[in-house]
Structure 1
Amino acid sequence: MSLDNGGFALPHMDLSELRWFSDRGRAVQRLYTSEQCDVIVVGWEAGQESSYHEHGVSESIVVVVEGRITAESEGAARVLGPSEVLVTPRGSFHRMRNEGPGKAVTFHVYAPPMQGGVSAPYIDHTAPDN
């Protein structure tokens, strides 16, 4: 299935065992990292959003696994639902948010890995949730 934004749809992804959320910020779980790419899963509570940012030398592919995410880039916003994919070229400023009402989960691949890590604020799964 082709999407107007140049993306594509994927079959169902079952990441139910990786669902994790925090009311203090986006909940990030790093699944894999190498010199070629970073792979993370992000849990979004309703109302959580990223900063307006770009990924430096990295390109990204984001798959919405659960819920709905609004992606904004260059003044245009689009809502993506489960199995829809957002491809962000290097140097493209953008932001993402969960406008609710429910939770959302996204699966991200960054290649090459982002210098400086994922845009803040986020809560890493390895950090204690106090």
Structure 2
Amino acid sequence: MTIDTSAPTRVRPGEIARALADDPDAWVTRVRLSNEGRWYERLHRDEEYEVWLISWLPGQSTGLHDHGGSRGAFAVALGSLEERDLGASRTLGPGELREFGAEHVHEVRNTSAAPAVSVHVYSPPLSTMRRFELTTEGELIQLVEEEAEQW
């Protein structure tokens, strides 16, 4: 898939994520696996949105986090991932998509026995990300705020 950046459009993160996840020729040779943590590479960034390719080994997780006011989506390209937000947990397999708004807090993790690959799209591009912990009473506590330059 080639991302057309020639004309401004109303960005639809879900459409971009799904189209790219469904086109492995556009990314499969870039994927790396890392025992140290999730591997990720930014595939595209402009003023409207950015696209990330992420690989996950079994047990790897994001921890609870937000997207600094960006809305977004991710599509599973290979394997399966579990998403946990403050209300529910769901497992997504190849071709499945999860879209979310600017205030969404979630954790994504690979709970399977095999590697997984996903495509993530954020609009506008991420500038910050806050990491959280959930107390046993269900209270969300901010641990840290990261700036985009830290990734």
TM range (shorter): 0.7 to 0.9
DSSP 3-state at the match of 1:29: strand
Give the fraction of aligned pairs with identical amino acids, expressed as a percent: 30
2:105 pairs, out of 64, 78, 93, with 93
In structure 2, list runs of 5 or more residues that go unmatched.
1-13, 132-151
Aligned partner letter, 1:20: R
Secondary structure in structure 2 of the residue aligned to 1:20: coil
Q: CA deviation at 1:118?
A: 9.5
* Other structure's SS at 2:119 match: strand
1:34 CA displacement: 1.2
**In 1, Cα distance between equivalents of 2:50 and 2:130:** 10
Look up the match of 1:65. 77
**Superposition pairs for residues 32-111 of structure 1, below 5 Å?**
32-111=44-123
Structure-2 separation of matches of 1:41 and 1:97: 15
SS in 1 for 2:83: strand
Q: Is the 8 A contact 1:13 1:83 kept in 2?
A: no
Q: Which residue of 1 aligns with 2:23?
A: 13
**Aligned alpha-carbon RMSD (Å):** 2.5
- Pairwise CA distance, 1:75: 3.1
Q: Is 2:34 the partner of 1:22?
A: yes
Q: Which runs of 5+ in 1 are unaligned?
A: 1-6, 120-130
**Contact 1:60–1:108 (CA<8 Å) still a contact in 2?**
yes
Q: Kindly tell me: are residues 104 and 26 of structure 1, through their superposed partners in 2, closer, same or farther at Cα, counting changes over 3 Å?
A: same
Q: Deviations over 1:1-29 (max 9, x none)?
A: xxxxxx89x57331321221111011011
Superposition deviation, residue 38 in structure 1: 1.1
SS at match of 1:17: helix
Distance 1:63 1:104 in 2: 11
Amino acid corresponding to residue 107 of structure 2 in structure 1: R
Q: 1:49 to 1:88 in 2, by over 3 A?
A: same
Which one has a bigger Cα radius of gyration? 2
Aligned length: 115
Is the partner of 2:128 in helix, strand or coil? coil
Letter in 1 for 2:84: E
